[in-house]
């Protein structure tokens, strides 16, 4: 089943290839072990690529033996890339040796000489993030690195949930606010809510305050390490529910530069265990970056033909983004029952071909009362029906399992965790 090949594009299991990454990768250290000139030149090119602006790539040796020796005396990085001409039993045994000298949670990518379906499946099953075939294509390498870093972020950092509407007016902001209330109150999970709409934001109304800050001010406070200024922009609705105060931007301006926002997001991910982002009216580049990094994505649509068509396109786009294997996607068909001609629930599921569909009813009195009074949606009569739907939505997301970071670490820890679990007998 093995054959020599000059490309690694014939991946198995329908993994996407050559999907263009157009956002900064998260901060990371990557060590390369290879003596192949083409691979070394590609690594140098990656170091000059703007997407790797926060990634440090260093050459540390020629092969797997060098890696074992290196990390027996030094701390391992975020990701290790190892090129080899041998892929037999001895190689796997040496991977086990490498696991024993590396830090928990370290990820690894193997570059091999042949396109071997069974080898690819076996290596990924024991914790290798990806198996690529030399000579390497740059975008394939970028995708593999982005996906590996996404899994590490999902394993050791906070949980990022993104709400994205297929168009305006489908109720994305309302569902964002209600989910934040359920997360913080029902599950007692410390949650931060962000709205990226700038001057178009209405999220603040759901939490009963008038906006007095901007995303740029928050990003500047993070960049300047001004804790006091940043804390003044965080509205603490309860011990477990915090909201970033933004929305006073000029309504026609882009709210914040993508790189500045991502730096701010990285900062919040180091503090809050759960972050929910409303991407309504967010600039496309920022929206794409958030969706690519999100552990969970909730797509919001109404049960009508144009919305369902846009939903299918969104699902396809998300499947082509890095980290797709570990990203949980759910679809809210919102405003169910508002019109008799709307597509029924079973027909929606059949049309989309997606299992994780939450049918959200329409209660005009609940929404109009909350919006006009400035009171939270969760305080309104009839909210219990929405809460039941959202509790189900969260409970079915495996990334939220038991709300314990150590569970996600065990599930997604990469090469080192999986090898150590195999050694100890854990599955």
The per-residue pLDDT for range 252-275, each reduced to its tens digit, is: 888 999 989 998 998 898 788 899
> What is d(CA 269, CA 159) in angstroms, rounded to the nearest whole number?
8
Query: The domain at 158-396 falls in which architecture?
Result: 3-Layer(aba) Sandwich (3.40)
> What is d(CA 297, CA 319) in angstroms, rounded to the nearest whole number?
11
pLDDT at residue 20 in the model? 64
Asked if residue 135 has a cis previous peptide bond (ω within 30° of 0), the answer is yes
Low-confidence ranges of the chain (pLDDT < 70): 1-20, 22-24, 151-157, 398-427
- Nearest 5 degrees, angle CA 393-CA 396-CA 400? 95
- Average pLDDT, whole number, for the chain? 84
Q: 332 forms bridges with which residues in the sheet?
A: 300, 358
Measure CA of the first residue to CA of the last residue in the chain; give whole Å: 28
> What is d(CA 113, CA 32) in angstroms, rounded to the nearest whole number?
16
CATH 3.40.50.300 domain residues, the chain = 158-396
Decide if 157 contacts 272 (C-beta within 8 A): no
pLDDT at residue 49 in the model? 87
pLDDT at residue 82 in the model? 96
Question: What DSSP assignment string belongs to 233-244?
Answer: TEEESSSSEEEE
pLDDT at residue 12 in the model? 42
Annotate 9-22 with b (16+ C-beta within 10 A) or e (fewer). eebeeebebebebe
pLDDT at residue 406 in the model? 34
pLDDT at residue 153 in the model? 55
Q: How far is CA 279 from CA 195, 201, 290, in A?
A: 7, 10, 8
CATH 3.40.50.2300 domain residues, the chain = 28-155+411-424
Residue whose tokens read 């999970």: 189
pLDDT at residue 55 in the model? 87
> What is d(CA 170, CA 297) in angstroms, rounded to the nearest whole number?
16
Q: CATH topology for 28-155+411-424?
A: Rossmann fold (3.40.50)
pLDDT at residue 279 in the model? 96
pTM over 0.85: no
């Amino acid at each position: 089943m093995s054959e020599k090949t000059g490309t690694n594009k014939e991946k198995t299991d329908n993994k996407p290839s050559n999907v263009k990454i157009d956002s900064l990768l998260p901060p990371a250290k990557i060590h390369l072990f290879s003596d192949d000139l083409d691979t070394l030149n590609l690594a140098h090119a990656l170091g000059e690529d703007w997407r790797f602006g926060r990634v440090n790539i260093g050459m540390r040796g020629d092969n797997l033996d060098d890696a074992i020796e290196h990390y027996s005396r030094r701390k391992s990085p975020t990701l290790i890339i190892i090129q080899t001409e041998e892929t037999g039993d001895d190689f796997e045994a040496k991977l086990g040796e490498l696991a024993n000298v590396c830090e928990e949670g370290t990820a690894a990518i193997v570059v091999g000489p042949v396109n071997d379906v069974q080898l690819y499946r076996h290596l990924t099953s024991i914790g290798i993030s990806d198996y690529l075939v030399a000579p390497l294509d740059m975008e394939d390498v970028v995708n593999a690195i982005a996906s590996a870093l996404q899994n590490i972020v999902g394993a050791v950092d906070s949980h990022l949930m993104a709400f994205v509407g297929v168009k305006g007016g489908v109720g994305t902001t309302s569902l964002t606010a209600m989910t934040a209330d359920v997360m913080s109150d029902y599950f007692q999970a410390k949650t931060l809510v962000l709205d990226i709409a700038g001057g178009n934001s209405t999220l603040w109304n759901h939490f009963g305050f008038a906006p007095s800050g901007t995303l740029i001010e928050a990003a500047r406070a993070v960049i300047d390490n001004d804790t006091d200024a940043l804390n003044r922009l965080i509205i603490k609705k309860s011990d477990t529910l915090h909201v970033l105060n933004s929305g006073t931007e000029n309504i026609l301006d882009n709210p914040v530069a993508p790189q500045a926002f991502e730096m701010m997001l990285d900062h919040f991910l180091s503090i809050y265990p759960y972050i929910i982002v409303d991407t309504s009216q967010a600039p496309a580049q920022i929206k794409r970056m958030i969706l690519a990094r999100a552990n969970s994505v909730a797509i919001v649509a109404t049960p009508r033909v144009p919305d369902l068509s846009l939903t299918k396109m969104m699902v396809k786009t998300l499947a082509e983004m890095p980290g797709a294997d570990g990203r949980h996607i759910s679809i809210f068909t919102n405003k169910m029952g508002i019109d008799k001609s709307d597509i029924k629930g079973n027909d929606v599921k059949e049309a989309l071909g997606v299992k994780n569909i939450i049918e959200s009813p329409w209660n005009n009195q609940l929404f109009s009362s909350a919006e006009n009074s400035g009171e939270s949606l969760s305080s309104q009569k009839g909210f219990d029906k929405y809460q039941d739907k959202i509790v189900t939505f969260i409970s079915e997301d495996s990334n939220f399992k038991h709300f314990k970071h150590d569970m996600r670490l065990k599930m997604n820890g990469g090469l080192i965790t999986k090898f150590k679990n195999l050694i100890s007998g854990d599955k």
